[in-house]
Structure formats: structure tokens, C-alpha cells
Amino acid sequence: MAPLKTRLGVTAMPHCGHRAPGTRFLAACGRATCLLCLLAAALPGSPGQGASVPKVPTVSPRRALFLALAAPSPASAESVWTATVGCDGAKDSANCFTTVTEALRAIPKDSGTALVTVAAGTYREQVRVPRGPVLTLESSPPNAATLVWESDRPYEAALTAEQGSQVTVRGFNIKHAGKSVANNYAVFSPGGDLSLEDCDVMSSTGAGVAAEGGRLSLQRCRVHDCARQGAVLFGPIIGDEPLQARCSCSVFSGNGQFLGDGDAIPGPFDGVLARNNVEASISDVVIEGSGLAGLAVMEDTRVEAFGLTLRGNRQGPSRVTNGGELVAAARPSDAKC
């Protein structure tokens, strides 16, 4: 047989011709130019370069060739695009930016995964995460980067995970103030896949975290002193797929005290509101000091709760109406605080 250039980057014969004793099947022989043996050496858990070839099951010649040609090339492994925001000498090194927005705009369109590390400091900007690569925004050190957005224009969150985006935000302080009556949120995810980890969130005029459809996860977060709700969970505006929300090891404190200033939506407000086609899981969460009830569940929404503490909420621990369900659940298998 003629030699083949494989995706493993090695020129080799499809097989040296060695056969398992007493059969017509090919078997690994350990020769450096044997394609079957090269494949065996590339398998996960193999001893590695320079070691003896591991024993593999005997295979037919056609099967051996198929497996070898299908083997992924190391060069095809997905790489992570990285950038730093707030680094010293902002433009002196590659992928070093002064704002988060600049870094997001620089992500290559063909990148599959991106990591943007944000140095300590205060960043006064409105951040919008578009559909694109799987993104991680990370404060380094944790809780040292503060994102601030204060605006007299309506419908401007400090952080927005746009529809179709996939983003994890880790270790940020997020502060917000806006003018609008509706959609007045510090963090907003309209159909995105957003995870907040170890974040501190507050809005002096609106709600802390809001989602309409998509997926939302909060882990080890503190949402506090928001004029309206600490969290607003809504089903999608279009479509039947419910919002999938999960919150664990988090505290919602002192939210919903705003009584309104003659606007169309007077307070006080619940600590957490879930309504209109939401499936939510809450574990090891404290909701306290809310202006209305601690947790409100309504309109075709189901909330499963474990380790939920509701205390000091002015109008009771919870209210469940119009087809909402609040049920006790077993502790999630992967729950940890």
C-alpha cells in the first residue's frame, strides 16, 4: 500500500501487515510507521511518545483506516482568545484595552471562546455582550473591578447579555442608575445565556438582575439596595420555551423599598419576582428586607426551592398567585456554597 499523510501529521502506511495470530484481522505491532499503532498511541490515556504502544482490540483493515483518518488533529483544538482591560501601558501590548467595550469589539468573529480579564478599577460604561463566542468576563483580582452606568436615558442597563449570547461574568461589582419606568435594570438578559458568579449588584432606580427568556444563573451573588426588585424573572416575549433560571448560594437584601414618584408602577416591590412561563431552581438563598413579599411566583411559573430563607420582608415571606407554584425540592446534587 502507498503511504498516507494522516491528520495526526505523520506519514505512515495504513498498516504494516501484522496480523493477530490465527486471524485475518490486523493488530498493533508497535512500529513507528504503522498507522494503526500511531492511532493507538494517540488515544487518551496512552503512555505517550517514546513509550510502548498500548494494547488495542484487533480491527479490520477498513475500520483501522476509518479511525485513523477521523482522528482529530491537535492543531484543530479550539483555542481561547484572551484580552486584558485596564492593564498598565494600555496600548503597549497585544490585546490590551482601556474599556470592556473595546475588548468585546476586538474579539475575532471566528473565535469559539474568549476570556476578557478586567483589572481593578472603576469602568464607567454600558456593556453589551453580543451573540458570538462563549465569553468569560472576569475581574482580577476578584471583586476589584466595578462597572458603573448612570444615565438619564431609558432602557439602559449597565450590563446586557443580548439574545443568543453566552457569557459568564465573574467577580464584578455592578452599579446602576437609569431613568425609565419599565426595563430599568442593572443587569439584563433578553434571551441570552447569562451566568453571574461572585458578583455584587445594585440599582438605585430599578431592579438588580432581570431576564426575559433564555437561561440565567446566579451563584454566590449579592443583590442589594435596589429600588425595585432584586431579581425579575420573565418568560420569553416570543415563543413557548420557558426561562430556565437557577440561583444558589446568594443573598437578596433590602430591595423593593422604592414607593414611586408618581410613575406608572408604584412600589413597594417584591424581593424576587418570577412570572409568565419560568422554570426556576433556588438553593441556599436568603431573601430579606424586601418592600413587599420576599418571593412572588405567578402565571404558569414553577419555582423549586431548597434551603430558602425568607425573613424580614414587609408583606410576608412569599405570595403565589395565578397558576404559580412554589414547591420544596431536594438539594441539587451539584450544589455547593
> How many CA atoms lie within 13 Å of 149's alpha carbon, on the beta-carbon side?
26
Asked, for residue 279, whether it belongs to a domain, the answer is yes
Asked, for residue 166, whether it belongs to a domain, the answer is yes
What CATH code is carried by the domain that includes residue 96?
2.160.20.10
Looking at the fold, whether 280 and 133 belong to one and the same domain comes out as yes
Looking at the fold, whether 230 and 274 belong to one and the same domain comes out as yes
pLDDT, residue 6, reads 41
Looking at the fold, whether 111 and 31 belong to one and the same domain comes out as no
C-alpha cell at 91: 496600548
Asked, for residue 318, whether it belongs to a domain, the answer is yes
From 77, 108, 130, give the residue that closes a domain: 77
Looking at the fold, whether 102 and 37 belong to one and the same domain comes out as no
Q: Are residues 5 and 35 in contact, defined by beta-carbon separation less than 8 angstroms?
A: no
Asked, for residue 7, whether it belongs to a domain, the answer is no
Rounded to whole angstroms, the Cα distance separating 93 from 101 reads: 18
Asked, for residue 5, whether it belongs to a domain, the answer is no
pLDDT, residue 182, reads 84
* DSSP state string for 242-307: PEEEEEES-EEES------SS-SS-S---SEEEESSEEEEEEEEEEES-SS-SEEEESS-EEEEEE
Looking at the fold, whether 126 and 32 belong to one and the same domain comes out as no
Looking at the fold, whether 179 and 308 belong to one and the same domain comes out as yes
Looking at the fold, whether 53 and 122 belong to one and the same domain comes out as no
Which segments in the chain show pLDDT lower than 50? 1-20, 23-33, 35-56, 65-77, 90
Rounded to whole angstroms, the Cα distance separating 211 from 192 reads: 8
From 77, 111, 128, give the residue that closes a domain: 77
- Phi first, then psi, for residue 64 (nearest 5°) are -60, -45
Q: Name the strand (E) or helix (H) holding 61.
A: helix 61-70
Looking at the fold, whether 207 and 301 belong to one and the same domain comes out as yes
Q: Hunting for cell 494503526 — which residue is that?
A: 36
In this structure, how many other beta carbons lie within 10 angstroms of the beta carbon of residue 122? 11
pLDDT, residue 75, reads 37
pLDDT, residue 232, reads 98
Give CA angle at 304 (244, 134), nearest 5°.
25
Number of domains in the chain: 2
From 54, 77, 100, give the residue that closes a domain: 77
pLDDT, residue 336, reads 75
pLDDT, residue 179, reads 87
Looking at the fold, whether 65 and 90 belong to one and the same domain comes out as no
Asked, for residue 205, whether it belongs to a domain, the answer is yes
Closest of 241, 232, 247 to residue 304, by C-alpha:
247
Looking at the fold, whether 173 and 30 belong to one and the same domain comes out as no
Q: State the angle between helix axes of 35-42 and 61-70 in degrees (0 to 180), rounded to the nearest 10.
A: 50
- The parent domain of residue 176 ranges over 80-328
C-alpha cell at 44: 487518551
Asked, for residue 69, whether it belongs to a domain, the answer is yes
Q: Are residues 181 and 263 in contact, defined by beta-carbon separation less than 8 angstroms?
A: yes
pLDDT, residue 78, reads 62
Looking at the fold, whether 177 and 219 belong to one and the same domain comes out as yes
| Total-model pTM | 0.76
Asked, for residue 262, whether it belongs to a domain, the answer is yes
Looking at the fold, whether 106 and 70 belong to one and the same domain comes out as no
